[in-house]
């Protein structure tokens, strides 16, 4: 979404590689499809790929979260006009109940209508996934954004077609499956979404808890997550940034810690959560070949 927001004010960027940097321009937080084709990946340190970006005339933008929040609100308004029951999941993603369209138009047609209206009213392109459960809808959305041949919309309810899609998607790309869980599943030979869907429910619950059990049930077509519900409470909340330049003054570090602690508090209040432990940590760049590695925390 971030790249699309920047392109909205620069029509000349259409078809051109675009990336958006994190706070302090430390790393890439968004890359469009043209940039991905160059081998650029989200999360990559900016200094590491800067020469490649310059060689291919990639448009590089610093983050403008005020702009992105404005587009996010407009995006949500458009979707809500077509699907009154919605749940905003993040700044660039929301869930919508499409049951009111049954008998009016097909899920595929409704997805195409949503996408067309978002483009018309906001100039943003988006992926739309329609399926019987939230986890399957996320899977369809992943397919819509991954494969251009879908036209940005994937609506599936047929079990055979859903199984085919799950066989093509990695288990780690399933909504709610974190990196640690993905590694554990891979060690058991569970590497695709289909293999995860076929995992023994009792074993999943014993090893990973009720959240993964519910994810598996959702992959099987059983709705376990309400529209306004996520995949479970977060076990930790992290607010951290890479500095664009080396920090050598204590005052700079104190200012950064104050800023990030404030942001962490805001997120906790938004989620109506409490913290038992607060940790502050720093570490030197893993890409500083000439320096002595340093890390510490309290």
C-alpha triplet 96, 99, 104: angle, nearest 5°: 115
Rounded distance between C-alpha atoms, residue 177 and residue 171, angstroms: 7
Q: Give the strands of the sheet with 28-31, arranged side by side.
A: 28-31, 18-21, 59-62
Q: Report pLDDT digits (tens) over 32-49.
A: 989 999 999 888 999 889
Q: What is the mean pLDDT of the chain?
A: 88
The residue-averaged pLDDT of 236-240 equals 71
Scan for tokens 């607010």, then name that residue.
Answer: 239
Nearest Cα residue to 113 out of 81, 148, 156, 90: 81
- 242 falls in which pLDDT band (50, 70, 90)? low
What pLDDT score does 245 carry?
66
What pLDDT score does 234 carry?
59
What pLDDT score does 15 carry?
86
Q: Report pLDDT digits (tens) over 113-147.
A: 999 999 999 999 899 999 999 999 999 999 999 89
More confident residue, 266 or 158: 158
Whole-angstrom CA distances from 190 to 181, 193, 211 are 11, 8, 17
Domain ranges of the chain: 2-63, 250-297
More confident residue, 63 or 263: 63
Q: Report pLDDT digits (tens) over 265-291.
A: 877 887 777 888 888 878 777 666 666
Instruction: Tell me if 21 sits within 8 A of 62, measured CB to CB.
Output: yes
CB atoms near residue 65 (< 10 Å):
11
pTM, rounded to two decimals: 0.74
What is the dotted CATH code of the domain comprising 2-63? 3.40.1170.60
Q: Euclidean distance between the first and final Cα of the chain, in Å?
A: 36
Helix (H) or strand (E) segment spanning residue 181: helix 179-187
- Which 8-state DSSP code applies to residue 42? T
Rounded distance between C-alpha atoms, residue 111 and residue 151, angstroms: 10
Rounded distance between C-alpha atoms, residue 224 and residue 59, angstroms: 42
Decide if pLDDT at 153 tops 90.
yes
Decide if pLDDT at 202 tops 80.
yes
Query: Tokens for 234?
Result: 């977060």
Could you list the beta-strand ranges (E) of the chain.
Answer: 18-21, 28-31, 59-62, 86-90, 93-96, 128-130, 153-155, 281-283, 295-297
- 199 falls in which pLDDT band (50, 70, 90)? very high
Q: What is the dihedral of CA 198, 201, 202, 203, to 10 degrees?
A: 50
């Amino acid at each position: 979404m971030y790249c699309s927001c920047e392109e909205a004010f620069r029509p000349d960027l259409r078809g051109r590689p675009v990336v958006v940097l994190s706070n302090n321009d430390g790393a890439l937080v968004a890359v469009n499809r043209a940039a991905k084709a160059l081998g650029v990946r989200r999360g990559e340190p900016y200094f590491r790929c800067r020469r490649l970006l310059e060689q291919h005339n990639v448009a590089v933008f610093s983050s403008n979260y005020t702009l992105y929040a404005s587009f996010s609100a407009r995006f949500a308004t458009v979707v809500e006009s077509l699907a009154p029951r919605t749940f905003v999941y993040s700044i660039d993603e929301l869930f919508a109940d499409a049951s009111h369209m049954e008998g009016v138009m097909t899920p595929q047609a409704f997805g195409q209508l949503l996408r067309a209206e978002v483009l018309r009213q906001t100039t943003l392109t988006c992926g739309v996934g329609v399926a019987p459960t939230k986890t399957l809808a996320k899977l369809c959305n992943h397919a819509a954004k991954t494969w251009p041949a879908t036209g940005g919309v994937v609506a599936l309810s047929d079990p055979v077609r859903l199984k085919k899609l799950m066989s093509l998607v990695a288990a780690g790309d399933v909504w709610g499956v974190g990196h640690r869980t993905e590694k554990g599943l891979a060690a058991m030979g569970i590497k695709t979404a289909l293999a995860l869907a076929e995992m023994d429910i009792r074993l999943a619950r014993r090893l990973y808890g009720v959240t993964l059990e519910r994810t598996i049930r959702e992959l099987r077509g059983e709705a376990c997550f309400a529209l306004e519900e996520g995949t479970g409470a977060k076990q930790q909340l992290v607010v951290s940034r890479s500095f664009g330049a080396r920090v050598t003054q204590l005052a700079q570090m104190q200012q950064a810690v104050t800023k990030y602690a404030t942001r962490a508090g805001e997120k906790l209040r938004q989620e109506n959560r409490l913290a038992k432990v607060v940790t502050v940590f720093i570490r030197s760049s893993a890409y500083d070949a000439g320096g002595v590695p340093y890390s510490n925390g309290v």
